Structure 1
Amino acid sequence: MLLTPRLAAFDMDGTLLNEQSQMADATKEACRALQEQGCKLVLSTGRTYGSALIPVDSFPFDGYVCSNGATVYEADGTMVHRTILPKDMVIGAIHALRKEAIYYELHDTASNRLMVKEDRERLEALVEEDTSVEGISIRRFAFYKLARVVPLAELLDMVESGESEVVKLFIWHNSPERLEWVREQLEPWSNRSSITTSGKHNVEVIPHGVSKWEGLRYFCSKWGITPDQVMAFGDAENDREALTEVGYSVAMENASPAIKELARYVAAHHNEDGVARFIRDHVLGRT
């Protein structure tokens, strides 16, 4: 029996995108066919809105849940919801993270990926250190192409004044063990923020109560869709709430064992057109 979702939500890295961070033609074709059947398509990602648009090559999604649910956008890019991190927490976290050579970015409502200028040199050494580490090509692209580098004093003023509304802290290190130190540094704000992850080499700090599922609920309400009519694809801890709540939960073959265990279905590897194959086989009925 074919599945009949009315809304399909897609995580990006490790799910919708292949290892080259591209939305393959087969995936576009399957998603387009799904859309033609009347199913709404929503990107559900840890990326900022601006970063989410880059790899999908103008594919017409019906909505966007970005920064793990901290920002929500209509199809035309209009922001309809945002939840920001407390200013004092962001400022305190910057001072704490600067104690070590830890790669970190501040993501704001304007899709800026902010980095401290004074930390640039040591972070460059970090991202050039090991070519075999998961996500290193993405880190380099963000570091050299996407990041907005700002002097420390100026960045702190941007946060304090509200000029920059920070919705997420993205923190990365090539040694997962160093992320335990990061979690310790962030403990003072644990009652006002949540820590999730999209892979073993990073942690992502978002406002308390925020998740991809909370963002998707906006579209469910807008379109009159119930949770059991939603299909969600994901591969990491930041997909947990969505995969737990929807009627059709799909984990990728490359997902962690814990995420695959809670999902109702498992799709093929993200670098083997897993999303496209699952849609063709289980929703469209095409081989």
Structure 2
Amino acid sequence: MKEKIGLIAIDFDGTFLDDSHFKKDLRYIDKIFSIGIPIIFASGRATAGIVELLSRLGIKDRVNYVIGHNGAEIYDVKNGKIIYDKKLDNKIADGIINLIVSNGFKNPIAIHDWEKLYTYNYDKRVDLENDVNFTKGINISKISEFPENKLKIMFFATGKEVDDIYNLIENSEYKENISQARNTNLLVEVTNNGVNKASALKILADKLKIELSDVLAFGNGENDKEMLDEVGFGYAMINSDKVLLENAKYITKYDNNNCGVEKEIIRIFEI
């Protein structure tokens, strides 16, 4: 396996990061970067938040690219510029937001704009999103106050609300124009049609002249499914959502709180 791998793609929350949404145990970092194979991070987080966290972890200078917003954006870390994005059509985005609001949902709705997070119907469920992305929270009273550029819409929900919102959008006229991902404990995320981590990873791999069959990837959530399915070596974390564990090509021995990613890389590359 190790002879084929030309790129490593790693999800952040629940995968590389521990349950504190940070990385307290850095003892294996030098070792995994020593193998000389490019390591990129692919997350549902805002791109600006990913880059800031890499800086705080002291590894920003070791990472060339990150994929943010579940694949809606690719950022060149070395040169400090966005090299790809796929935004939602504003009419479709506004239509989906109005669909949720008109059906009586009072849930927070949020959209990132680089280092800012705009929220309609704010409540404390949004605080973690601001905290992990190091964003400035801006609470708005009108839907029209959302930023023009909409990479991803987040509907914060808990319990049954997650499926209710997901299914309402899935059965609407907008279904063919968007992609959705669920976090069963927190939110529904909506991006443009065809946007996911796998599609962005394919664009980046093509740029680097690497086949997806030669990519090693790690993830734990529903938004990682396509990526783990399409790469040659897709590892679901042992702490993954059930949907990943049921169909995983490979499963890590250790979870995200016990450096599962790093230990698997060390095992694969025998370092």
TM-score range, shorter chain: 0.7 to 0.9
Distance 1:2 1:214, change over 3 A: closer
For residues 98-247 of structure 1, the aligned pairs below 5 Å read 98=101, 99-108=104-113, 110-116=114-120, 119-120=121-122, 123-124=123-124, 127=125, 138-139=128-129, 141=131, 146-152=136-142, 155=145, 158=147, 164-175=148-159, 177-186=160-169, 187-247=172-232
Residue in structure 2 matched with residue 266 of structure 1 by the alignment: 251
Aligned-residue offset at 1:33:
3.0
Residue in structure 2 matched with residue 8 of structure 1 by the alignment: 8
SS in 2 for 1:102: coil
User: Within 1, Cα distance between the matches of 2:88 and 2:201?
Assistant: 20
Aligned-residue offset at 1:213:
1.1
Aligned-residue offset at 1:247:
1.1
Instruction: State, as a whole percentage, how many aligned pairs show the same letter.
Output: 21
Residue in structure 2 matched with residue 281 of structure 1 by the alignment: 267
Aligned-residue offset at 1:218:
2.2
SS in 1 for 2:224: helix
CA deviation vs aligned residue, 1:28-49 (integer Å, no higher than 9, x gap):
x33x433332211111011111
User: Within 1, Cα distance between the matches of 2:2 and 2:193?
Assistant: 37
Residue in structure 1 matched with residue 87 of structure 2 by the alignment: 84
Distance 1:74 1:199, change over 3 A: farther
Aligned-residue offset at 1:201:
3.0
User: Within 1, Cα distance between the matches of 2:217 and 2:26?
Assistant: 18
Residue in structure 2 matched with residue 130 of structure 1 by the alignment: none
User: Within 2, Cα distance between the matches of 1:16 and 1:269?
Assistant: 9
Which of the pair has the greater relative contact order for Cα pairs under 8 Å at 6+ separation?
A: 1
| TM-score normalised by structure 2 residue count | 0.86
CA deviation vs aligned residue, 1:1-50 (integer Å, no higher than 9, x gap):
756521110111100100111124436x33x4333322111110111111
Equivalent pair of 1:26/1:276 in contact (CA under 8 Å): no
Equivalent pair of 1:105/1:171 in contact (CA under 8 Å): yes
Number of residue-to-residue matches in the alignment? 261
Q: Which runs of 4+ in 1 moved over 6 A?
A: none
Aligned-residue offset at 1:148:
2.4
CA deviation vs aligned residue, 1:218-255 (integer Å, no higher than 9, x gap):
22112211112101100111111110111111110110
Aligned-residue offset at 1:59:
1.4
Residue in structure 1 matched with residue 26 of structure 2 by the alignment: 26
User: Within 2, Cα distance between the matches of 1:279 and 1:112?
Assistant: 35
User: Within 1, Cα distance between the matches of 2:164 and 2:143?
Assistant: 25
- The amino acid that maps onto 2:72 is A
CA RMSD of aligned residues (A): 2.5
User: Within 2, Cα distance between the matches of 1:137 and 1:194?
Assistant: 25
Equivalent pair of 2:115/2:136 in contact (CA under 8 Å): no
Query: Larger % of helix: which?
Result: 1
SS in 1 for 2:87: coil
Asked if residue 95 in structure 1 is aligned to residue 78 in structure 2, the reply is no
Residue in structure 1 matched with residue 66 of structure 2 by the alignment: 64
Distance 1:173 1:206, change over 3 A: same
Aligned-residue offset at 1:101:
2.3
Q: In structure 2, list runs of 5 or more residues that go unmatched.
A: none
CA deviation vs aligned residue, 1:148-181 (integer Å, no higher than 9, x gap):
223416515x4xxxxx210111122222x11233
Aligned-residue offset at 1:200:
4.0
- The amino acid that maps onto 2:196 is S
CA deviation vs aligned residue, 1:170-198 (integer Å, no higher than 9, x gap):
122222x1123312442221111011124
